[in-house]
Amino acid sequence: MAVETTSRTRRKQETQPIEEAVAKSDAAFTADYLPSLPPDWKHPTSEIVYALHLIGAATLQDAHARACFDLIDETSGADYRGSSLGWHPSAKMKEMRSPELRYIIVLRHDQVCGFMSMMPTYENGEAVLYCYEIHLKAELRGSGLGKQLMHFLFEAGDRIQSVDKVMLTCFVSNKYARQFYERLGFEVDACSPRERKLRGGRIVMPDFVIMSRRTAGRVQTSSGKRVRDDID
């Protein structure tokens, strides 16, 4: 009985940082987990300046939410439609409005040109920071902004207590994206679906992979809380 109580206490202590991260205001989330997020970013070639904003799904403007949805369809709609997941607009929009999601949106004259969404959550009982989406308009691809957005993801993952890895899902058909993630240190996670052998010997390959990258360590947050200082 004492062991079970201790176990429950430990689980509560482990889950509290995730709950705290989800409950934070956008301003507090930025201050504690994304202190390096600048208000804007300049394209290295065109020198056009884009605004960067962290916004929770609950306060994301309808027009911006729709623009993010359209960008997903533009860049990944074919991958969805060609996979076992399928493309289900209503379900996707509902997912995008999940209150735990945080968006970093890239704006030019209040028009969405790119975004990344992330959620502190659990995967197989493990505390993780999950990257739900990252998409850029053609004008921003190859500019280095995608890599910069991913580094904001890593920064938040490093600073949220109890989070040991960041995760994402990638279509097998999107070889460019997978190579991009691998260059950033992502590997296929142990929970990723594996090939299946059917009766008759036919091999069925999964059409998406779940990838993960270990967080770098723990640092001091602006609230003064100490987080992990060892490196996995």
- The rounded distance, in Å, linking the Cα atoms of 155 and 218 is 10
- CATH of span 16-214: 3.40.630.30
The domain segmentation of the chain, as residue ranges, is 16-214
Please give the C-alpha separations between residue 98 and each of 67, 120, 224, 226, in angstroms, as whole numbers. 16, 12, 29, 29
Residue 22 · residue 100 · CB < 8 Å: yes
> Which of the four pLDDT bands, split at 50, 70 and 90, describes residue 204?
confident
Strand order in the sheet with 102-108: 40-42, 49-56, 102-108, 111-123, 126-136, 165-171, 208-214, 187-188
Q: What is the pTM of this model?
A: 0.85
Instruction: Report the mean per-residue pLDDT for the chain.
Output: 88
Residue 95 · residue 69 · CB < 8 Å: no
Strand residues in 32-125 grouped as ranges (E): 40-42, 49-56, 102-108, 111-123
Q: Does residue 69 have a pLDDT over 60?
A: yes
Lowest mean pLDDT among 110-114, 157-161, 198-202, 210-214: 198-202
